[in-house]
Amino acid sequence: MKTYVFDTAAFITLGQWPKSIFPGFWKRLDSYAGTLQIVSVHEARRELDQKNARQDLKDWIAANKAIFNKPNEDELACVADVFKQPHFLQLVGKQQMLGGMPVADPFVIAAGRVHGHCVVTQEKHKPNAAKIPNVCQHFKVPCIGLEEFCASEGWRFD
């Protein structure tokens, strides 16, 4: 059983797929969350509390709060490793730093690296950027988008 760690952007995208229109998708997502094949990090939940305006997603997050894990010691050490790379300090935006806002990206990457999970993000790899796919590539953490996640799990909806 493969486990996926979702970032905030992946959840925000899912929020644009209403349950009333995509019930089969949400049923499968519920199943994966129930078996912890989909997990995330506490900081992503904090970001979602601030950024998500979609009620379907708010309800889903409340019903699946067990998937949002606080970091363990190994994950915290991994976050420190990420920030030892000066370029990756850009994962934390100036607004986030000054405003004391949550920053999930390094924790998502750390969860993937420490537990051998595949990271799911909507961010795209950009040369010389400090984006999740770039950092995952540097640390050899598998990283895919939502469409690739659905395809790799054989999810098809007619």
Query: For residue range 114-130, what is the model confidence (pLDDT) as tens digits?
Result: 999 999 999 898 887 77
List the chain domain ranges: 4-152
Determine the Cα–Cα distance for residues 150 and 49; give it in Å rounded to an integer: 25
Confidence tier at 94 by pLDDT (50, 70, 90): low
Using CB atoms within 10 Å of the CB of residue 122, give its burial: 0 to 12 exposed, 13 to 18 middle, 19+ buried: middle
Fold (topology level) of 4-152 = Rossmann fold (3.40.50)
Determine the Cα–Cα distance for residues 101 and 78; give it in Å rounded to an integer: 20
> Which 3 state secondary structure label does DSSP give 50?
helix
Q: What is the mean pLDDT of residues 59-81?
A: 94
Provide the strand spans (E) within 4-124. Answer: 4-6, 38-41, 68-69, 118-120
Amino acid found at 109:
I
What pLDDT sits at residue 100?
63
pTM: 0.91
Contact in structure between 57 and 88 (CB atoms under 8 Å): no
